[in-house]
Amino acid sequence: MKKVFIFALVLLIFSSMFAADVVYKRDETLYAGGGMWAPPSNWSPITPWNAVTGTVGLLYETLFNYDPLTDTLIPWLAESGKWTSNKTYEIKLRKGMTWHDGHPLTSKDVKFTYELAKQIPEIYYSPVWNWLAKIDTPDDYTVVFTFSSPRYHEWSYDLYQNPILPEHIWAKKSKDDVLTGANEKAIGSGAYLFETYGTDRMIYLRNDNWWGNKVFGQPKPKRIVYLTVSSNNVALGMIMKGELDCSNFFLPGIPTLKKTYTDIHTWFDKEPYMLSDNTAYLFFNTTIKPLNDPNLRRALAYAIDPTIIAKNVYEGQVLPSNNVGFLPIKGWMKFYPENAVKQYGFKYDPKTARSLLDKAGYKDVNKDGYREAPDGSKFKIEISVPYGWTDWMESAKIIAAQFVQVGINAEAKFPDYSKYNDDLISGKFSAAISNSGSQMTISPWTSFNWLFNSPISENMYNGNFGKYNNQKLFDLVTQLNSTPMDDTAANKKVIEQIAEIFLKDMPAIPLWYNGMWFEASTQVWKGWPSEKTPYAYPTTWGGRWQTGGVMMLIGLKQ
């Protein structure tokens, strides 16, 4: 007995070492990084923000995918989906789909996935039941969602965001296991299988029985080795040597290196090299004096020159934001509020900033070089960004210097990430840069819902970090959500009103677009998507594979 036990133990130790050290056939393997920051330990679609990247997208799948390049919802597990009345959305599932263990995937799994969150209100998507009334499954392939008060924008987002679970596995789990289980050896429906993992890598094996092979084509890499990489510099070296095929890291130096290393691929061959993926905003704490004064916040918008940041900090790898933080993607720009921007927009113009400050009563009374508040009190704006986020640290310093230029005492401040985040959520800051909810989605509503999140509470976990309180604006964001997505004119009308309030009150200032960082090596894999062949949005970030990552795997060549 003892011998067997030791043998098993030795085998166990060997097999876990094996995961890290085994050499896979190079031309069958894709090495990727930029979306995993800790040793793999969670594959739960119920806690996707903690899960290894690919948990949603590669293992578990969504009803639709979304392609931001063409602004199209791509039927995925769903073969089609449509509003059959203003309160009912009907989905037809594809036939012949199976889970990784061979069980058929049917309408019952979809119904179960949603109803699980009704039973267990701690599940992140359970608030859908505030506006979803019931789900019917007239047959194995039809799902009818009936809403009490439909939220069209949110629903379009959920359709490609929420992974569908296998009922035959998840119905047997305890509540605790559902909520906090690691879900190792996850059984999904996707193009890749959970193979193994090591401390610095997750290894996915291609699912040769994937239902999608017949629909979309088979992904080219037999294996994906997803790596944690200790620093951006290490990632840069790996890209140059061809050890990393696909990187979603921000890599300083790419514009220069591309000139020498012709096998480094980026989306654009010249500036800005990267697609724009999310908007960095400067939030102001609107609950403290004098930052509660919209005149001050608006004047400061004129003091910031984001083009300097784009050039000096990002070497031209990012673009300055437009006035309302709208990403330059089809799905958002079709709603762009040009009238509000024309009437209330701002631009870098320190002269205007100074005159607006003068007019609002901000003057240097004691002649120390900085303006005092209208009541004569001294103040200083501290701009918080997490320590170690070198690009943001540099940017915060530039903004502080630009504030000083117009006579506002300001300084960049670098707390460690957890303090930065706690301060942001609890409102213990004067100004802070954040992009946590401004990422590319199917609708600018997601970004508004983050910027103007309501109601205001002690801790703001989901945005509106400066606790800007404006019920009229909150109502408009709700109204936008309840406007059918295909009524462009009606959506634009609401967005014009939102933008007017935003630009007049400036609770946050849009700065620049962080890139969809993407550097690929053409040494092993070719056919990467680019401006010239824009077949997929090149992302392998957690929760984002279904916005292009999987399509990229299908489109690769050798």
Q: Smaller CB distance to Ca ion: residue 99 or 362?
A: 362
Q: Pairing between strand 381-384 and 431-434?
A: parallel
Whether the CB-CB separation of 353 and 406 falls below 8 Å is answered with: yes
Q: Smaller CB distance to Ca ion: residue 61 or 372?
A: 372
Q: Smaller CB distance to Ca ion: residue 121 or 369?
A: 369
Instruction: Say whether residue 366 binds Ca ion (CB under 5 A).
Output: yes
Whether the CB-CB separation of 507 and 448 falls below 8 Å is answered with: no
Count of residues interacting with Ca ion (CB under 5 A): 4
511: left (phi over 0), alpha (psi -120 to 50) or beta: alpha
Which residue reads 């990403």 in tokens? 327
Instruction: For residue 417, give Cα distances in angstroms to 215, 309, 347.
Output: 43, 22, 31
Q: Smaller CB distance to Ca ion: residue 373 or 536?
A: 373
Q: Smaller CB distance to Ca ion: residue 377 or 459?
A: 377
Q: Which stretch binds Ca ion (CB under 5 A): 126-134, 229-237, 360-368, 490-498?
A: 360-368
Q: 158 is written with which tokens? A: 């959920």
Q: Smaller CB distance to Ca ion: residue 259 or 367?
A: 367
- What minimum distance in Å lies between the beta carbon of 378 and Ca ion? 7
- When binding is defined by CB under 5 A, the residue of 141, 210, 326, 370 that contacts Ca ion is 370
Strand partners, 320: 512
Q: Pairing between strand 223-227 and 201-206?
A: antiparallel
Within a 10 A sphere around the Cβ of 36, how many other Cβ atoms?
A: 22
- What minimum distance in Å lies between the beta carbon of 407 and Ca ion? 8
Q: 20 is written with which tokens? A: 């890290």
Instruction: Say whether residue 160 binds Ca ion (CB under 5 A).
Output: no
Q: Which stretch binds Ca ion (CB under 5 A): 43-51, 176-184, 356-364, 509-517?
A: 356-364
Instruction: Say whether residue 368 binds Ca ion (CB under 5 A).
Output: yes
- What minimum distance in Å lies between the beta carbon of 456 and Ca ion? 32
Q: Which stretch binds Ca ion (CB under 5 A): 236-244, 362-370, 412-420, 477-485?
A: 362-370
- What minimum distance in Å lies between the beta carbon of 361 and Ca ion? 13
- What minimum distance in Å lies between the beta carbon of 368 and Ca ion? 4
- What minimum distance in Å lies between the beta carbon of 369 and Ca ion? 7
Strand partners, 391: none
Instruction: Say whether residue 358 binds Ca ion (CB under 5 A).
Output: no
Dist CA 317 CA 311 (whole Å): 8
How would you write 452-508 as a 3-class SS string?
CCCCCCCCCCCCCCCCCCCHHHHHHHHHHHCCCCCCHHHHHHHHHHHHHHHHHHCCE
Instruction: For residue 509, give Cα distances in angstroms to 40, 222, 242, 259, 499.
Output: 36, 45, 39, 35, 12
Q: Smaller CB distance to Ca ion: residue 150 or 407?
A: 407
Q: Smaller CB distance to Ca ion: residue 366 or 558?
A: 366
- When binding is defined by CB under 5 A, the residue of 27, 364, 475, 531 that contacts Ca ion is 364
Q: Which stretch binds Ca ion (CB under 5 A): 76-84, 301-309, 361-369, 492-500?
A: 361-369
Residues of this chain that interact with Ca ion (CB under 5 A) are: 364, 366, 368, 370
